[in-house]
Amino acid sequence: MTDKSAPPRVRAGRPTREQAEARHQELLDAALDLFLEHGFEVTTIEMIAARVSMTKRTIYARHPDKATLFRTAIQRAIERQIVPPHVLEALERGKLGATLEAIAWLRIEQIAAPHGLRLQHLINAESHRFPEIFTAYVEQSTRPLIDHVAAVLQRAVDAGEIAPTRVDHAASAFMSMVVGGPVRAIVGGLAPTRQELDEKVGFTVRLLLDGLRPR
């Protein structure tokens, strides 16, 4: 017999679009954390579902397979590595050498951070299987930094601080020399000391500017 005095039962309705998107972001965060911790092969949909308290069916409704979820999660990680233009502009130090050193340190510290380091390891390990993640990382995270350095160098050319040059080539060489070497050492588990990095960055910036000085 129904108790008419009891309050009506509140039925759980469908989640709003905002709620559904928030849950999807939780899923991507959980998947990314597990992929970064364990790699693509070891991480399973079951592990991800358990981490986020979600059914596999719900996950498969958004991502048809693990590879698709992996690509989406890695894209999320890459987007976190994108440096906003206003942050890059704030690295201006008034002197070209100091500005270039600030840019170099930003990139080195970004990659050396735990999240950045795990992402580097994962890209290195999985780019043979997913070459698009390496391309996406270069185009979305590395290329804007090179373009910013090129713009900084072009302003220096216009001001007569350095000789006219192919600033795009100079910017690529700068990033390769001042960032590439230390980053490879860090990713390889042979991280230089802060003093060693400071000497490396300073030396490379001076070498670049000496090669570009007006003659």
Q: What is the pLDDT of residues 80-110, one digit of tens each?
A: 899 999 999 999 999 999 999 999 999 999 9
- CATH code, domain carrying 33: 1.10.10.60
Q: Which domain holds residue 66?
A: 17-79
Confidence band, pLDDT 50/70/90 cuts, at residue 187: confident
Residue 205 located in a structural domain: yes
Q: What is the pLDDT of residue 17?
A: 83
Tens digit of each residue's pLDDT (9 = 90 or more) over 122-159: 998 899 999 999 999 999 999 999 999 999 999 999 99
3-state secondary structure of 82: coil
Mark whether 63 and 88 lie in a shared domain.
no
Mark whether 164 and 199 lie in a shared domain.
yes
Q: How many domains does the chain have?
A: 2
Residues 10-22, mean pLDDT to the nearest whole number: 72
Mark whether 55 and 133 lie in a shared domain.
no
Confidence band, pLDDT 50/70/90 cuts, at residue 208: very high
Rounded Cα distance between 130 and 175, Å, is 24
Instruction: Indicate if the pLDDT at residue 114 is higher than 90.
Output: no
Rounded (10°) CA dihedral 157, 163, 164, 167: -70
Residues 147-173, mean pLDDT to the nearest whole number: 96
Mark whether 49 and 105 lie in a shared domain.
no
DSSP 8-state secondary structure symbol assigned to residue 137:
H
The first and second tokens of residue 2, run together, are 């129904």
Residues in the chain, total: 215
- pTM (2 d.p.): 0.82
Last residue of a domain, one of 26, 61, 79: 79
Q: What is the pLDDT of residue 179?
A: 83
The first and second tokens of residue 60, run together, are 């498969």
Mark whether 133 and 32 lie in a shared domain.
no
Last residue of a domain, one of 79, 105, 128: 79
